[in-house]
Structure 1
Amino acid sequence: MRNARRYPFLSSDTALGEASFRPYLPLTLLQQEFSVNVSGLLDTGASVNVLPYSIGIELGYEWDKQTIGLSLTGNLSQYEARVVIVQGVVGQFEPTQLVFAWTQAREVPLILGQVNFFIEFDVCFYRSQLQFAISPKSSVSA
C-alpha cells in the first residue's frame, strides 16, 4: 500500500481487555459550511456507511428535506434511513465523496462500510499489533 497511514485500534471498554479494541478511524466530514470531526468504525461486514442522526444534524441536514430513502438490515432494520453525500477527509489525503445511510438511530456509531468507504480506500488490518493501515484506492490503468 503506497502512501499508507497507520492508526491504532482503540479500546471501547477497558474491562474487556484486548477484546475491546476496535478499528476507529479519525476523519473530518464536510457539508457546505459545516465541518465535524468524528471517529468511524471500520466494518468490513457492513454493506453501507452509516451516519448517526446526531452527526447528520451537526452537518446541517434536515431529515424532511432528504428525499432518497433506503432500507437498512440487521439491528438497524427498524430505523428509517436517508441517503446523504458528504466530503470525508482522512489524515492528509485528498477529500473523498462518501455516501451514507443517515439513520434515525441515535445509539449507533458512525460506520464505514463497503459502499462506499472500502471502495474508495484500501485498508490492511494488523490485529495482532492493534493497528490498521489506510491509503486512498490505487488507480489502475489497463
Structure 2
Amino acid sequence: MPAGAVYVGRGSRWGNPYAVKREGGFMWVEPDGKHLVCSTNREENLRERRTEAVAMYSDLIERVSLDTVDPKIRHDDLGVWDGRIKQNVRAALAGKDLACWCPLDQPCHADVLLELANDATTASAAVTASDAPSVALAAPPEGNGTRT
C-alpha cells in the first residue's frame, strides 16, 4: 500500500458491507441485493454487481446522514456511523489517497468516499455544524485524493 494511503476496504471503518457473491454462473450482492443474475458474460455481470454494491453503499451513507435509519448504526463492529457521517468522512479522508482491493478499472465504494471527502459542500457543512468534529479541516495534508 502506498505511503500515506488510507485503507478503506472490508475490515476498516469505511468498508463496504455490500459484497458481490458468486457461485457457479450466479452472482448477487449480499446483503439485500436486488438481482440474482446468471450470465455467460461474467465480466459484464461482475461490473453490474459491483455497480449495484457501490450504489447501495452510497445510499446507506445518505440514509445514515439523514437519520432515516437507526442513527447509531453499527458498521462491522469497528465504529459507529451516525448523522454526521459525511462530515466524519471529510474530516478523516480529505486529500488522502484511498486503498481498496477493487481493481482500479472497476466500480468501488472508495470512489464514493473520495467524492464525499473532497466535496466543498460537505466541507462547509462540517465547519458550520454545531457539533463539528474536533479534527481540523485545513488543507489536505498529503496525497492527491485518489484511489490506489
Give the TM-score, by structure 2 length: 0.28
Higher relative contact order (CA 8 A, sep 6+): 1
More strand by share: 1
Query: Which of these two proteins has the greater Rg computed from alpha carbons?
Result: 2
More helix by share: 2
